[in-house]
Amino acid sequence: MSSPQRTQSSTPTLLIVIAWLLVSIPLAYGLVRTVITAAPLFTGG
């Protein structure tokens, strides 16, 4: 019996970078806005 050959497909690096940017930029923006908004609650301002 012969084992089936596995073909390995690779995702282009540029596509991975673009996908991470599409996720991380809004996430970072949301985190910064949350910290700025919540800071007065903890500083008494």
Amino acid identity, residue 29? Y
pTM greater than 0.85: no
Quickly tell me which residue has 């949301």 as its tokens.
30
- Check residue 8 and give its pLDDT: 75
- Check residue 6 and give its pLDDT: 72
What is the Rg, in whole angstroms, of the alpha carbon atoms belonging to the chain? 22
Measured between alpha carbons, how far is 29 from 35 in angstroms, rounded to an integer? 10
CB of 25 within 8 A of CB of 19? Answer: no
- Check residue 1 and give its pLDDT: 61
Quickly tell me which residue has 């995702």 as its tokens.
11
DSSP annotation string for 14-30:
HHHHHHHHHHHHHHHHH
Amino acid identity, residue 31? L
Residues 1-42: tens digit of each pLDDT: 666 777 777 889 999 999 999 999 999 999 999 999 999 999
- Check residue 4 and give its pLDDT: 72
